Structure 1
Amino acid sequence: MSARTTPPGPPGPPGRPGRRRPPPRRIAQFLVGLAMCAAGVWGSLQVHLGVASWDVLHAGVADRTGLSYGTVVAGVGVLVVLVSLLLGVRPRLGTLVNVVAIAVTLDALLASSWLDGLGSAPTAVRVAVLAASVLCLGFGGALYIGAGLGSGPRDSLMVACHLRGWPVGRSRALIEVGVLVVGWLLGGPVGVGTVVLALALGPVTQFAFRVLRQSPGAGT
């Protein structure tokens, strides 16, 4: 007498694959890039040669509208994120981390005494620090964007332009100069360092992406 066998039942529903976590190397690259960007902003502020293009815009809008500086910074950031979204670059977790991490790191650096007195240092020293700041911003941006975890609000606009066929350097330069002009027309403060940052950040950022072999569109 043969043993009675039970026919196999229908296969169960396929399991949902877990969301892949970014490897530690990419996370480390992202954080190092953000730290370099914060250091670049810190240095550019400490030399007292002029604020960055976006800060010219923020100051001009705040002066014309009567809104607080922080409110304007947040509002402009949200507006840029929405424009970037319309252009195909979605905000990601790294976008929020970018805003928070750079703000916290920059506050800590500004609260330190490491570069106190730099504003009254010889012009050659201040120019050298400004040049180093531009390098930090360019290479830091290439590192954290290349990690593919999401770009900051203003860098997302550069990435959106790049995805439409514009070179990174030209995209960044046109955005920086355009923002500078609008901010200046609104009455924002402009210095020689402002012009240097606006003109140099584009070429330096494109050079950094090429040297570090990173992709501006990573993770989009």
Structure 2
Amino acid sequence: MKNGLIISGFYIIGLLFLTFGISMMILANLGAGPWDALYVVMADELGLTVGSWVFIVGLLLILINSFLLKKTPDYLASITIVLIGLFIDVWLEIIFPNLVVALLIPRLIMLIGGIFSIAVGVSFYLQSEFARNPIDNLMMAFHKLTGRSLAFSKTFLEVMVMVIAFIFGGPIGFGTILVALIIGPLIQMVYKPVTKFRCRICHENLVQN
């Protein structure tokens, strides 16, 4: 029971860090991640909030993944996308409404801090195997159907979404390339100490990879 509450805490804290980082990258206006750029351009062109489009697109992906994998829709994943969408809207619409930073140095700090926050968030969020993000499930579906590696599948889908976001005027830029280059190594760097911390407070044995 105690460990379950601790893991739930890691899950929520992870999503808070993740969405804070996403929001900082959006507000820095130096280029957001491919999926986030897509949500921003849909919000700009079609209305609703960025968080609302996180939920709408995520719900569509749950159905698409179910069709591609020929499995029952992963309804639990909707919990994760609801929370991600809600937290992003809290950061953008309530805590930092209409925030515009003109100077380049503060924007670079926001961008780099946002990327690091995303890495921390993912490292905490992954401590729980509950309700995987439908974007990750789409990668798994592509991997299974094409037989290509997970790295290729992830990269292909990210580039495809980036191109779509760019065509429709999404915030694709320096930050998009930077996050693509360093987010993986950053997650790898942060994940191990976070896992050690979780094992220590849950009194678990750390499995060495």
TM superposition score category, shorter chain reference: 0.5 to 0.7
Q: Is the 8 A contact 2:62 2:75 kept in 1?
A: no
Tell me if 1:32 matches 2:13.
yes
Instruction: After superposition, give the CA deviation of every residue in 1:73-123 in whole Å (9 maximum; x if it has no partner).
Output: 555323322343434796253x22222222332222222259945x223x2
Q: For structure 1, which runs of at least 5 residues remain unmatched after alignment?
A: 1-19, 215-220
What does residue 127 of structure 2 align with?
146
What does residue 42 of structure 1 align with?
23
Give the counterpart letter for 1:91 in structure 2. Answer: D
What TM-score does the superposition give when structure 1 sets the normalisation length? Answer: 0.65
Q: Is the 8 A contact 1:98 1:152 kept in 2?
A: yes
Q: For structure 2, which runs of at least 5 residues remain unmatched after alignment?
A: 197-209
What does residue 80 of structure 1 align with?
61
Q: Answer 1 or 2: which has greater helix percent.
A: 2
Larger radius of gyration: 1
Q: Is the 8 A contact 1:173 1:200 kept in 2?
A: no
Q: Is the 8 A contact 1:89 1:156 kept in 2?
A: no
Distance 1:98 1:44, change over 3 A: same
Tell me if 1:91 matches 2:65.
no
Distance 1:185 1:114, change over 3 A: closer
Name the SS for the 1:23 alignment partner.
helix
What does residue 187 of structure 2 align with?
205
Q: Is the 8 A contact 1:51 1:193 kept in 2?
A: yes
What TM-score does the superposition give when structure 2 sets the normalisation length? Answer: 0.67
Distance 1:50 1:157, change over 3 A: same
For residues 182 and 72 of structure 2, what CA distance do their matches in structure 1 show?
Answer: 24
CA-atom RMSD in angstroms: 3.8
For residues 89 and 83 of structure 1, what CA distance do their matches in structure 2 show?
Answer: 11
The number of equivalent residue pairs is 189
For residues 149 and 159 of structure 1, what CA distance do their matches in structure 2 show?
Answer: 16
Distance 1:91 1:202, change over 3 A: farther
